[in-house]
Amino acid sequence: MTVKEFLVWAEAQTEGKYELVSGEIVRMAAERVRHNLGKAEIWLVLRTALRAAGLRNVVYNDGMGVVIDHD
């Protein structure tokens, strides 16, 4: 499966989170409480640092897809 095909497919899914690894769809494990709390802490630290530096960047906490080009 190509990245473009995966993004269309993933957008249509109503449950679960998935990754595309070497052209294959891989379902991600359910998130645990400890992991979620760690993400929240990291988000807060990054957001606070950006604001303190006067930068207007946005820090997303979850749900954003990232395409990595290995070519």
Give 45's pLDDT tier (boundaries 50, 70, 90): very high
What pLDDT was estimated at residue 55? 96
What pLDDT was estimated at residue 70? 62
- Is the pTM higher than 0.75? The answer reads no
What pLDDT was estimated at residue 71? 54
- Check if the beta carbon of residue 24 is closer than 8 Å to that of residue 5: no
The residue type found at 4 is K
Q: Are residues 25 and 42 in the same domain?
A: no
Burial 16-48 (b: 16+ CB within 10 A, else e): eeeebeeeeeeeeeeeeeeeeeeeeeeeeeeee
Which phi and psi (to 5°) does residue 56 adopt?
-105, 15
Task: Judge whether 17 lies within some domain.
Answer: yes
Number of domains within the chain:
2
Q: Which domain holds residue 45?
A: 31-61
What pLDDT was estimated at residue 31? 87
Please give the biggest Cα pair distance in the chain. Answer: 42
